[in-house]
Amino acid sequence: MTTTDWDSAAASFDEEADHGLLDPVVRDAWARRLKSWLPTETCDVLDLGCGTGSLSLLAAGRGHRLTAVDSSPRMAERARAKLAGTDADVLVGDAARPPVGDRRFDVILARHVVWLLPDPAAALRHWAGLLRPGGRLVLVEGVWNGDGLSAGYLTTLLAPLTERVHHERLSDDRDLWGKEVDDERYALVARARRPHRHTEVVDVHLILRRGSDVLLARRAGTGYADGLLHAPSGHVEDGEDVRQAVVREAAEEIGLVLDPEELRMALVMQHRAPGGSPRTGWFFEAAYDRTRPPYNREPDKCSELAWYPLDDLPDDMVAYCRAGLDGYRAGERFLIHWHEDGDTVAFEPEGERRAVALPPGGTRTGLLHHIELWVPDLAAATPGWEWLLGELGHVPYQRWTHGRSWRRGDSYVVVEQSPALAAGAHERKRPGLNHLAFHVEDRATLDTLVARAPDHGWRLLFADRHPHAGGEGCVAAYLEDAAGYEVELVVR
C-alpha cells in the first residue's frame, strides 16, 4: 500500500472516529474499554497510527504518558492540537518501525492499523521488541467487506511473541460505533513474554583517530538524541561478533572499509539511557588513513561528520558516548554509565557524573606509570610531541600551565617546562635519558611516519643506515626534535 493509500485509509477511519467520539455515548464506551485494556497504574503508552489522536486523548485523560505516531504530517498536526495541554509527544513516522529510538513502553496501542501494513508479522515482531517485560499489545482490528485481518490470523501471528492473547468481540457493542454493525470487529490484548533470563542489547562504537582528534557524527531524523554528537555506532546483529559488527557499521555509516586487524579494543561499558534498558557497549579504536577518508553515507540519519579534539570534546554530545570517550582518554578499560530516569540523554557539563570506572584484574605493581621530559620551551616542543604521540595512539591526557601529557593504556608521557628547570640545553649523550622507544605496527606505518616527521619538527638520525641503524636484525627509525630529544620507532 502506498503512502497516499495509507493516509487516505487512516484519514477515513479517524474522521469516523472523531465524529463518533463527539457523541458522549461513543466516547464513554471507548473510555470504558481503554480502562479495562490499560494498566491501572500510570504507564508509558505508544499509540501507533494515531490519526488525529482520539484514543491518545482518552488514554492521556487517565494519566498515562503518551507517545503518538502517524505517517501523515497533517494527521500528526491535528493530534498535537487535540493533545495540547497534555504531556503527549506526537511524532511523524512509519507505524511499522516508529521513530522512538531506544525507548521502551508498557503498552502499544494500534486501532485499524495492522491490516494496512505491508508485512504485519515483521511489524508485530518489532513492536514486541519495544515493550518492556510484561508489557502488552492492544490491537483493535476487524474485517470489513472482505478487507482486514481475522482475529484467528492475528492471534496466530502473536502466539510466538506473547505469553497469552485475550480476545474481545466488539461488533456487538453498538455504543462503540454509534450504530449496529454486522461485520467482524474485535480487540486483542496480548501480554509480552517475560524473559526468564536477563538479556541486553550489545552495541559497538568506533573511535576513529586522526592524531589527537576523533570523528563524531551529529544525529538527525532518528527519533533519539537528534541534534547531538555521537561516535559512529550500531547494534550487533544475529550471527555477528562485536568486531564484525563495528566493521559493518563503519561501512554503512561513514563509508569506511576496515580490516578487522586495524581495530584495537579500547573500552567496554555497560550503560543505561534514561527510562531505557541496560546495554553493553564495545568501543574500538582505529587510525585515520588519508587514502580512505570517511564520508556521510546516511544523510537521513546524520546531518554532519566532523573531527573534534579528544582533550576538548564538545558538550552537545550523547551523555554515555561522552563518558565513554572521557574514560578512553583517561586510560580506563571498563565503565558503568547508569542514567537515572530523570537524567537527560544529552551530556550536562554541570550535571552529576554517572560513569563508574571498574579496575581491571591483576596487579599494576612494576608497570611503567609515566615518563616525564623537561623541555626548555613548552610552546616549541608541544606541536611535535603532540603529532608524534597522537600518531602512535596516545590520547591527550592532562594540560596545565607548564606542561602537557598524553596517555596510552596505563602509562603516559609528560612534556613540561618546569619553573625548577636548570639552565642549559638537553644533550642525549650525557648521563641520563638517551631516548624513548615505541613500537610501530609495520614497515608501511614506519615509512609514513618518517616521511611526515620533518613537517612536524623531527629529523631522521643516521639516515645513511636507515632503517637498520640499530643493526641488520632491527627495522627502526631514529628521530630527533629541535631540542635534541630522540625517539626510536621500532617495527614489531
What was the pLDDT predicted at 178? 87
What was the pLDDT predicted at 164? 87
pLDDT, average across residues 96-105: 93
What was the pLDDT predicted at 13? 40
pLDDT, average across residues 356-381: 88
Cell of 259: 580490516
Give the range among 48-52, 229-233, 250-254 with minimum mean pLDDT: 48-52
Q: Of the candidates 486, 386, 487, which has an alpha carbon nearest to the alpha carbon of residue 426?
A: 486
Number of alpha carbons in the 13 Å side-chain half-sphere of residue 180:
1
What was the pLDDT predicted at 131? 93
Q: Does 270 have pLDDT greater than 70? A: yes
Q: Does 8 have pLDDT greater than 60? A: no
Percent of the chain whose predicted confidence (pLDDT) is above 70: 95
Cα 78 to chain centroid, rounded:
32
Question: What are the structural domains of the chain?
Answer: 3-192 (3.40.50.150), 201-357 (3.90.79.10), 370-491 (3.10.180.10)
What was the pLDDT predicted at 12? 40
Q: Does 5 have pLDDT greater than 80? A: no
Q: Does 184 have pLDDT greater than 70? A: yes
pLDDT, average across residues 91-104: 94
What was the pLDDT predicted at 196? 62
pLDDT digits (tens, 9 = 90+) for 316-337: 999 999 999 999 988 889 999 9
Q: Does 408 have pLDDT greater than 90? A: no
What was the pLDDT predicted at 393? 85
What was the pLDDT predicted at 21? 62
β-pair partners for 374: 416
pLDDT, average across residues 136-164: 92
Q: Of the candidates 361, 198, 345, which has an alpha carbon nearest to the alpha carbon of residue 279?
A: 198
What was the pLDDT predicted at 144? 86
What was the pLDDT predicted at 11? 40
Give the range among 9-18, 296-305, 410-419, 444-453 with minimum mean pLDDT: 9-18
pLDDT digits (tens, 9 = 90+) for 74-97: 999 999 999 998 999 999 999 999
- What is the average pLDDT value for the chain, to the nearest integer? 90
What was the pLDDT predicted at 195? 60
pLDDT, average across residues 400-423: 92
pLDDT digits (tens, 9 = 90+) for 445-484: 899 999 999 999 999 999 999 999 998 889 999 999 999 9
pLDDT, average across residues 139-161: 92
CA distances from residue 427 to 379, 424, 430, 432 in whole angstroms, order as listed: 19, 9, 6, 9
Percent of the chain whose predicted confidence (pLDDT) is above 90: 73
pLDDT digits (tens, 9 = 90+) for 282-296: 999 999 988 999 999
Q: What is the DSSP string of 275-340?
A: T--EEEEEEEEEE--TTS----S-TTTEEEEEEEEGGG--SSBBHHHHHHHHHHHTT--EEEEE--
Rounded to 5 degrees, φ, ψ at 369 are: -90, -55
Which string of b and e fits 393-432 if b means at least 16 CB within 10 Å?
A: bbbbbeeeeebbbbbeeeebbbbbbeeeeeeeebeeeeee
Confidence at 6, pLDDT banded by 50, 70, 90: very low
Question: Which has the higher per-residue pLDDT, 361 or 64?
Answer: 64
pLDDT digits (tens, 9 = 90+) for 229-246: 999 999 999 899 999 999
Confidence at 2, pLDDT banded by 50, 70, 90: very low
